[in-house]
Chain A
Amino acid sequence: MSEYVIETEKGKWEIICGLEIHCQIISKSKIFSGASTEFGDDVNENVSFVDAGMPGMLPTLNQECVHQAIKTGLGLNAVINKYSEFSRKNYFYADLPQGYQITQFQYPIVGEGFIDIDLDGGITKRIRIERMHIEQDAGKSIHDIDPHKSFIDLNRAGVGLMEIVTKPDFRAPEEAGAFLRKLRSILRYLGTCDGNMDEGSMRCDVNVSVRPLGSDEYRTRCEMKNVNSVKFVMQAIEIEARRHIEVYENGGEICQETRQFDPVALTTKVMRKKEFAHDYRYFPEPDLPPLILGDELINKIKTELVELPDAKKSRFVKELGLTPYDAMVICENKEVADFFEKAATGRDAKKVANWLMGDFFAMLKKKNLEISHSPVSAENLGKLVDLITKDVISGKIAKDVFEIMAETSEDPEKIVEEKGLKQVTDTSAIEAIIDAVIASNPDNVASYKAGKVNLLGWFVGQVIKQSQGKANPALVNKLLKEKL
């Protein structure tokens, strides 16, 4: 995409942005306790003595969370650190029972990596990952039940998180949007995070600063905490950038501070000034030994890794002949890609892709269904394409068949058979219709013979109409030409 510049009367500005994304790890139990991580259970149901910060309780590391983190690190094309350490981040809050969060500070489990994002016009851009560490989530404070009381739900307290920190590589809101969508896609492929920003299982902190176009300085940045949708992240970047520009152009200075994005008012407002920033007093967690990983484990996870969207995309382009755009759309969601591959195997993949991205997606959207609940199975979609390819039905009839499939989930072959929708390829049957049409339209026959050859289309239409759509158009064409 072209360079993103904010232009004012006084000058041209460039955005510098980096993201910190908290991703809830998919695991059966919490990262340092055996309690369940089920979302939507009753308040304070999934709380162990460890999660509640009871006296004498100790954390024990859940290996499943470590494996998920390694998997994610590999998915981010990142270095897996064989030595990492846990640290305590100390602060007081009612939904933080221990009075500290167990996190990783100096030695994270995952080091530098990158994600390639797809931008408009087929351009890709590499966004560098600074690091990823694992930590525990806090509980939830609920302030809107009672005017005088706050309530605490500790179900989330202790759920494993992966915090992914990017380098300040974003130069446009769209880049951040594309990154989040790509990251979400990778995490879902890996099965390490469900990436639902609206449920809070993926949360984004946005760091923004600006600089005059062409300069290479880094100016003071502001952080916006917990921006909870891709759209809001993009809005927040632009709005915060414009605020910085206005301040600078009026001769002011930007202070390093934490701000909150208001998606209704489309403004950001200050949450915490730098002077009031917490001193978290990080120090190594004495209850947990350093996390040492062996090559064997890392390699095992590497070999078990699923094919990721980028690899799948290039395979679909190379082996199945899809266009890069079609491949990108299909590969964004693993379930869609799997569905497609199942439907396309052994068939004209491009035709399957057209059907998938056309009538099939439209049907899902109309019925408001996830692909996993589609009434049309991959197998049946493939069969439908087969029926077209083998001239059993025409493309037009296929659309009718598809509609029936969407309602009944039936096998297209069965539908075609039962409803008698097979194309007529029997020459004599078609010839009979042609003869009848010629006989009843002498004027048009005369005109045709006199040179109005484009009347052929009209004849073809008439014949197909009389065959109730079942006559093979190519055959009709050929026979009509002979007869006329």
Chain B
Amino acid sequence: MSDLTDLTIAESLSKLKTKEISPVELTQAYIKKLDDNSKYNAYVTLNADEALKAAQESEKHYNNNTNRSLEGIPLGIKDLFCTKGIKTTACSHILDNFVPQYESTVTQKLLDCGALFLGKLNMDEFAMGGSNETSYFGPVVNPWSKNTPLVAGGSSGGSAAAVAAKMCAAATATDTGGSIREPSAFCGVTGIKPTYGRCSRYGIMAFASSLDQAGPICKDVTDCALMLNAMAGYDAKDSTSSKNEVPDFSSFIGQDVKGLKIGVPTEYRPDGLNSEVAAYWDKAAQILKDCGAEIVNISLPHTKYALPTYYVIAPAEASSNLARYDGVRYGLRVSGNGLDEQYINTRTSGFGAEVKRRILIGTYVLSAGYYDAYYLKAQKVRRLVKNDFDEAFKKCDVILTPTSPVEPFAIGDKKMLENPINMYLNDIFTVSVNLAGLPAMSLPIGLSQNGLPLGMQLIGRAFDEATIFKTAYQLERGANFVRM
């Protein structure tokens, strides 16, 4: 083996168990890789020394056969997850030097499985963005970039880029409107947003509470199952987390999809859809058909309302969730003459433009006199979007769509920057899933003519990640995408 960072988690674990490699060697390999690839700006805080210490501990576990499910696997952690003793900023100036004294449930579960943390990953500020350009620490560069630096997608751009460039074995991420799936597609990696309530939100800085969900970004489908096994589960500290039993997701890897009904929604193929994207969509359907699945046309009639609905609900919740960043107790404080001025000064310099835009939108849609027309209406449409999926799943078992209508674009793209709506439109295939609380995965399907990765999305019934894993594995095999 020339480079240990080429290994998937599953491969690493089998070599670790046979002591062919050691956790320290594996960790050192990743640390070297993240140094070599620092140009991608994927990490905002490094934890290399602690990671090596943890690797030594893991070595002991292997030596005395007390190794746990992810023993010695080096992970990157999105900077939205609070990690005890490790700086956590949500890539916002307003959380300058904030070091949590507590661990998020998801990262704690990963630690309990023996994983170790290489550092904190770049992201859009407070997970608000689709290109990782709103980060206070600057954009992540897509490792697939040729001459022009391209975006890695967002908001989990650091997570996707780090996995693609082998700067960690896998990464945690979060998805509010596509923040796991879009960067996964842009960086040619695999990420799953599980059902809302599958993973605890405790200790994850809230963007939009009713939409936020944690999930892994990995090198392949098999690793996603391993990671999600560790991350999922009921948590008494999150009242929205589900008590539904968590199956062993790995057990669905390799199961066949014969007779499975794959839904293809008409509304996701608007006039003018990128022809390469459309062609790969057809190809993906064909692969699954060849595996014995049945392709059925379905309709999700309220699709066109999903994006505006999302951009009412998410900012509304965000405007309230971000009120706590006020300079009184932690993070940045810019003093002023009196309390109100301190608030204004702190939040004016602490938040970036996109975050401010969403706080303003959210404050507006919740205001007296506008609440019914915007927020309440949006909640009603949200229900309709969910009903669409309920109807569709009477006809099919899993839904296949492209992840993004576009391939990765240049950092600083003029069209995206001059009108935020253009950026928001990249989420059209992903936001409905969050509104309906459903699980969905993005996996690479192939390269565009420009040599850039494109992703396919599989959407499942609530709490039926199993069917997604089953289908995704077969699609992955058929697509035969070559990782970086």
Contact = CB atoms under 8 A, between A and B. Distances in A.
A281 B323 CA distance: 12
A289 B239 contact: yes
Contact of B100 (A55, A90, A99, A281): A55
Interface in B256-293: none
Contacts of A359: none
B351 to A, nearest CB: 13
A281 B366 contact: yes
Contacts of B206: 56, 58, 287
A94 interface: yes
A54 B100 contact: yes
- Contact residues on B (Cβ < 8 Å of other chain), bracket: 35 or more
Given A60-B237, A287-B209, A287-B240, A100 B98 contact: no
Given A59-B239, A283-B371, A289-B240, A52 B329 contact: yes
Interface string B22-47: 00000000000000000000000000
Interface stretch (B10-18, B150-158, B197-205): B197-205
A99 B324 contact: yes
Contacts of B102: 49, 54
Contacts of B340: 92
A55 B323 contact: no
A364 interface: no
B175 interface: no
B317 A281 contact: no
B101 A49 contact: yes
Contacts of B363: 281
Most chain B CB atoms below 10 A, which of A55, A92, A286: A55
Contacts of B326: 92, 94, 99
Interface string B200-231: 01111110111000000000000000000000
A97 interface: yes
A286 B210 contact: yes
B237 A281 contact: no
Interface string B233-260: 0001111100000000000000000000
A206 B57 CA distance: 64
Contacts of B239: 58-61, 287-289
A49 B103 CA distance: 11
B328 A55 contact: no
Contacts of A57: 202-203
Interface residues of A, number: 30
B390 to A, nearest CB: 19
Contact of B104 (A56, A92, A287): A56
Given A56-B203, A100-B323, A283 B209 contact: no
A90 B368 CA distance: 12
B44 to A, nearest CB: 16
Contacts of A150: 339
A152 interface: yes
Contacts of B205: 55-56
A415 B237 CA distance: 61
Contact of A88 (B82, B320, B368): B320
Contacts of B320: 88, 90, 99-100, 281, 283
B201 A58 contact: yes
Nearest to A50: B237
Most chain A CB atoms below 10 A, which of B98, B205, B210, B326: B326
Contacts of B339: 93-94, 150
A29 to B, nearest CB: 14
B330 interface: yes
Contacts of A90: 319-320, 323, 366
B116 interface: no
A279 interface: yes
Interface string A54-80: 111111110000000000000000000
Given A92-B323, A92-B343, A99-B326, A55 B90 contact: yes
Nearest to B241: A58
Nearest to A99: B323
B175 to A, nearest CB: 16
Contacts of B330: 54-55
A440 to B, nearest CB: 90
Contact of A283 (B237, B238, B328, B366): B366
Most chain B CB atoms below 10 A, which of A56, A57, A92, A100: A56
Nearest to B201: A58
A144 to B, nearest CB: 16
Contacts of A287: 206, 209, 239-240
Nearest to B328: A94
A56 B325 CA distance: 12
B210 A58 contact: no
A14 B430 CA distance: 62
A60 to B, nearest CB: 5
Contacts of A54: 100, 102, 329-330
A279 B370 CA distance: 11
A200 interface: no
Contacts of A288: 239-240
A59 B367 CA distance: 24
B442 interface: no
Interface string B337-374: 00110010000000000000000000100111001000
Contacts of A375: none
A166 interface: no
A53 interface: yes
Contacts of B329: 52-54, 97
A279 B324 contact: no
Contacts of A282: 366, 371
Interface in B142-167: none
A207 interface: no
A98 interface: yes
Contacts of B237: 58, 60
Nearest to B90: A55
B316 interface: yes
Interface in A111-159: 150, 152
A58 B199 CA distance: 14
A279 B323 contact: no
Contacts of A53: 324, 329
Contacts of B204: 56
B328 A56 contact: no
Contact of A55 (B208, B324, B368, B371): B324
Nearest to B103: A56
A134 to B, nearest CB: 15
Interface string B366-395: 111001000100000000000000000000
A55 B317 contact: no
A303 to B, nearest CB: 28
Nearest to B367: A279
Given A93-B339, A288-B239, 6 more contacts: A55-B100, A92-B326, A99-B326, A281-B319, A283-B375, A287-B240
23 contacts: A53-B324, A53-B329, A55-B95, A55-B205, A55-B324, A55-B325, A56-B204, A57-B202, A57-B203, A60-B238, A60-B239, A88-B320, A90-B319, A94-B339, A98-B324, A99-B320, A99-B326, A152-B328, A279-B367, A283-B316, A283-B366, A286-B208, A289-B239
Which 9 pairs from chain A and chain B are nearest by CB? A99-B323, A286-B209, A281-B366, A286-B210, A53-B324, A56-B203, A55-B205, A56-B82, A56-B205
Interface of B: 81-82, 88, 90, 95, 98, 100-102, 104, 201-206, 208-210, 236-240, 316-317, 319-320, 322-326, 328-330, 339-340, 343, 363, 366-368, 371, 375
